[in-house]
Amino acid sequence: MSTEQELKEMVKEKYSAIAQQSKTQNESSCCGGTGCCSTTDFSIMAEDYTKLSGYVADADLGLGCGLPTEFAQIKPGNTVVDLGSGAGNDCFVARAIVGDNGRVIGIDMTDTMIEKAKANAAKLGFTNVEFRLGEIERIPVQENTADVVVSNCVMNLVPNKQKAFAETFRIIKHGGHFSISDIVLQGEIPERLRDVAALYAGCVSGAVQKDEYLNFIKEAGFVNITIQKEREINIPNEIYLQYMTLDQLREFKKNNVGIFSVTVYADKP
């Protein structure tokens, strides 16, 4: 498979293109991308943010796979860090909770996303929401800064998940916590799918086994690890058939491989 740096560059290129699209365009490619799937309208990953306080339509690109801010137990006055903040969707929802006395920091490795998020914040006149360019393996935030970390369908895109969770642990205050939505697997995805760049950047091939994912969190030092929400993601057959034959797909389906969206909570002691 590609090197970590090659994967990062691929994801960066893809999400730079996504930043130029509307939510409708992103959803129509099924996994928030530029043609990685089909032109049929499949919004199979994202959940509905529109009823949450603080929702900003211009910041919603339809890229998430959960509602981490809904489960994150954010309080007024908290400092919240959003990893992979995109156009600022979760940041603005978090800002509605922390209020004027709180602080929200969004981290994204894509220049175009950062520019879009800053423009959205400027239009809203927010002075306590900022966006920083950086990678999750090297988060540009001082240690013990965040009361709460949130992230929405981003860790599965990070090649070195152990380093990403170690960095998440570093920036959270003692007694703080995270709520992260992500894609995980149960059962093995065929290698031919893992090697498809488009699937890695947009759908599922960057995901790891659920038990492995939870173990990364434990190894980083977190405690009270809890799955707050879990739902199966049903990938349309037409997507799989772009990368395998019908007979291979039938065999794949027999193996009862599951692709799940999970929202995971954990505390830093």
Q: Which residues of 148-178 are buried (b: 16+ CB within 10 A; e: fewer)?
A: bbbbbbbbbbbbbbebbbebbbbbbeeebbb
How many Cα atoms sit within 13 Å of 200 on the Cβ side? 22
Mean pLDDT of 194-215: 67
Three-class SS state of 194 = helix
Confidence of residue 200 (pLDDT cuts 50, 70, 90): very low
Separation of alpha carbons 260 and 143, rounded Å: 31
Separation of alpha carbons 193 and 2, rounded Å: 13
Give the DSSP letter of residue 37.
Answer: S
Report the DSSP pairing between strands 258-267 and 172-186: antiparallel
117-132 tens-digit pLDDT: 999 999 999 999 999 9
Confidence of residue 72 (pLDDT cuts 50, 70, 90): very high
Is the model's pLDDT at 201 over the cut of 70?
A: no
Is the model's pLDDT at 138 over the cut of 50?
A: yes
**Residue whose entry in the numeric block shows the structure tokens 């380093």:** 163
90-120 tens-digit pLDDT: 999 999 999 999 999 999 999 999 999 999 9
Quick one: which H or E segment has residue 150?
Answer: strand 146-152
DSSP readout, 207-232? --BHHHHHHHHHHTT-EEEEEEEEEE
Alpha-carbon distance values, 125 to 119, 122, 178 (Å): 10, 5, 27
Mean pLDDT of 143-147: 98
Task: Starting at the earlier edge strand, list the strands of the sheet with 103-108.
Answer: 129-133, 103-108, 79-83, 146-152, 172-186, 258-267, 223-232
Is the model's pLDDT at 160 over the cut of 70?
A: yes
Quick one: which H or E segment has residue 188?
Answer: none
Fold of 4-267: Rossmann fold (3.40.50)
Helix axes 111-124, 89-98, angle to 10 degrees: 40
Is the model's pLDDT at 212 over the cut of 70?
A: yes
